[in-house]
C-alpha cells in the first residue's frame, strides 16, 4: 500500500468510526438547529452570488461533481443563483481538467456541460445578476413550478441530449412537492450519479422551528425520500456523505443511483 492509499484508508476508517459517534452526531444536530435559527445557511456566497447552503454540503457537492463528472446538472430552486453558479464553476473545472488531459482547449461557450435551473419565481435582479455572471454561458433557466407537466416536459427534452446527469432538489420542501419532484426527475439521474435532496434535515428539527412554513417534522424532503425509496431500489442513501459531514442539511438526502 503506498502513502496515498494509506492516507485514504485512514480517512475511510475515521468516517466509519464517526458514524458510531453518537455524542458528536447529537451535538452536530444541536449545533445546526441553533445555527439554523440564526439563518446561518444564508451567510455565504459562491463567486459573488448568495448560495443558501452550509459550507459542508458545498464541499460534499464539489467531491460528488468531481467523482461523477456530469455533463448536465439539473437544479430545482434557484433563489439568488449561488448554487447554479457553484455547479457551473465545477463544470468549468471539469472542462479544464479534460482539456489538460487531452491537450485541447475548450471555449466556455462551446462547452457541452450545462446547468439547468428551475424556479417558480426568478426575481428580475437575480436573473440579471446570473445572466451577467462569468459562468452564465453554462446556465439555462426555466421559470415555472418544478412539478407542472409543461416544465417537466421541457426538462426531459433538454436532458435527453446528455449522458451523465446529476440532480439537486432544493425548492418547495413539503413532502408532497418533493415526492412529486422525485417522481418527475429522479429517473433522469444516470447510473453511478446522484439525486441530492436538500433540507431533509427538517425531519430532525424541533416542530416550532418553521412556524411560517408549510413543512416541518413529518412533512418534509426526508419523509418524501423515505416514501420514494420504498418503490425505487435503483437508489440507495449514500450514508458515507452524512457520516463524514456531520453538519449537513441533507441527512438521507444524498441518493446514489446504483442500477
**Residue 197: which residues within 8 A CB-CB, separation 6 or more?**
169, 178, 182, 221, 222, 224, 225, 250, 253, 255
Q: Tell me the per-residue interface mask from 71 to 110 with ligand SAM, x by CB under 6 A, - otherwise.
A: -----xxxxx-xx---------------------------
User: Coil, strand, or helix at residue 226?
Assistant: helix
57 binds ligand SAM (CB under 6 A): no
Smallest distance from the beta carbon of 37 to ligand SAM, in angstroms? 16
The residue among 223, 222, 252 whose CA lies nearest residue 236 is 252
Smallest distance from the beta carbon of 231 to ligand SAM, in angstroms? 23
Q: Tell me the per-residue interface mask from 184 to 213 with ligand SAM, x by CB under 6 A, - otherwise.
A: ------------------------------
Smallest distance from the beta carbon of 39 to ligand SAM, in angstroms? 12
145 binds ligand SAM (CB under 6 A): yes
The residue among 144, 145, 239, 163 whose CA lies nearest residue 200 is 239
Alpha-carbon span 217 to 240, nearest angstrom: 24
Q: If you ran DSSP here, which 8-state letter would residue 239 be given?
A: H
Alpha-carbon span 233 to 214, nearest angstrom: 29
Smallest distance from the beta carbon of 136 to ligand SAM, in angstroms? 16
Residue from 61, 162, 167, 170 in contact with ligand SAM (CB under 6 A): 170
The residue among 259, 256, 251, 258 whose CA lies nearest residue 238 is 256
Smallest distance from the beta carbon of 134 to ligand SAM, in angstroms? 18
Alpha-carbon span 242 to 60, nearest angstrom: 9
Q: Kindly indicate which of the ranges 8-16, 23-31, 48-56, 219-227 contains the residues binding ligand SAM, using the contact rule CB under 6 A.
A: 48-56
Q: Kindly indicate which of the ranges 21-29, 170-178, 221-229, 242-250 contains the residues binding ligand SAM, using the contact rule CB under 6 A.
A: 170-178
Tell me the site size for ligand SAM, rule CB under 6 A. 19
Q: If you ran DSSP here, which 8-state letter would residue 174 be given?
A: S
Q: Kindly indicate which of the ranges 51-59, 128-136, 207-215, 244-252 contains the residues binding ligand SAM, using the contact rule CB under 6 A.
A: 51-59
User: Coil, strand, or helix at residue 39?
Assistant: coil
Residue from 120, 129, 158, 229 in contact with ligand SAM (CB under 6 A): 120
Classify burial at 104, counting beta carbons within 10 Å of its beta carbon; exposed 0-12, middle 13-18, buried 19 or more. exposed
> Are 173 and 213 contacting, i.e. CB atoms less than 8 angstroms apart?
yes
> Are 199 and 228 contacting, i.e. CB atoms less than 8 angstroms apart?
no
Smallest distance from the beta carbon of 173 to ligand SAM, in angstroms? 8
Q: Kindly indicate which of the ranges 165-173, 187-195, 240-248, 250-258 contains the residues binding ligand SAM, using the contact rule CB under 6 A.
A: 165-173
Residue from 53, 190, 193, 200 in contact with ligand SAM (CB under 6 A): 53
Q: List interacting residues with ligand SAM (CB under 6 A).
A: 51-53, 76-80, 82-83, 118-121, 145-146, 170-172
Amino acid at each position: 500500500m503506498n502513502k496515498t492509499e494509506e492516507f485514504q484508508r485512514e480517512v475511510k476508517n475515521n468516517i466509519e468510526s464517526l458514524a458510531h459517534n453518537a455524542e458528536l452526531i447529537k451535538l452536530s444536530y444541536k449545533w445546526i438547529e441553533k445555527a439554523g435559527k440564526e439563518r446561518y445557511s444564508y451567510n455565504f456566497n459562491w463567486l459573488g452570488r448568495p448560495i443558501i447552503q452550509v459550507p459542508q454540503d458545498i464541499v460534499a457537492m464539489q467531491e460528488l461533481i468531481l467523482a461523477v463528472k456530469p455533463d448536465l446538472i439539473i437544479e430545482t430552486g434557484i433563489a439568488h443563483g449561488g448554487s447554479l453558479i457553484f455547479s457551473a464553476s465545477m463544470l468549468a473545472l471539469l472542462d479544464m481538467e479534460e482539456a489538460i488531459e487531452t491537450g485541447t482547449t475548450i471555449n466556455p461557450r462551446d462547452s457541452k456541460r450545462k446547468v439547468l435551473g428551475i424556479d417558480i419565481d426568478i426575481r428580475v435582479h437575480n436573473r440579471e445578476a446570473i445572466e451577467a455572471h462569468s459562468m452564465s454561458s453554462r446556465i439555462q433557466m426555466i421559470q415555472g413550478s418544478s412539478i407542472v407537466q409543461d416544465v417537466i416536459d421541457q426538462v426531459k427534452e433538454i436532458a435527453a441530449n446528455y449522458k451523465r446527469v446529476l440532480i439537486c432538489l432544493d425548492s418547495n420542501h413539503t413532502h408532497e412537492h418533493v415526492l412529486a419532484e422525485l417522481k418527475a426527475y429522479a429517473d433522469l439521474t444516470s447510473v453511478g450519479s446522484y439525486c441530492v435532496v436538500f433540507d431533509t434535515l427538517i425531519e430532525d428539527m424541533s416542530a416550532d422551528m418553521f412556524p411560517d412554513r408549510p413543512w416541518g417534522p413529518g412533512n418534509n424532503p426526508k419523509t418524501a425520500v423515505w416514501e420514494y425509496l420504498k418503490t425505487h431500489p435503483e437508489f440507495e442513501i449514500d450514508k458515507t456523505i452524512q457520516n463524514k459531514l456531520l453538519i449537513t442539511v441533507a441527512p438521507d438526502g444524498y441518493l446514489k443511483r446504483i442500477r
